[in-house]
Structure 1
Amino acid sequence: MKKVAIFIVIFSSLLSGCLNQASAKVVEDIYNAALKGDEDYVRAVFAENDADVDEHLSEIMEQLATEVEDMQGTKNMGIRELRNRQLQDDLIEHLDEKYDENWYLIAARLDDETVALWTMQSDGYYFVADYEELSNDTYHKEILD
Structure 2
Amino acid sequence: MSADEYISSSVGAPLGNNNAIGNPGGGAPANNSNAIGNSGGGAPEDNTNRKSHGVYCDLEKIDDRAEGEVAEFINQMETVIRERADENSKEVAREIPLRLIRYNRAAQHIQQEGMRLDKGANSMLDTSRRILAQIFQDLQEIGAI
Q: TM class by shorter-chain length?
A: under 0.3
Question: Larger strand proportion, structure 1 or 2?
Answer: 1
Q: State the TM-score, normalizing by the size of structure 1.
A: 0.26
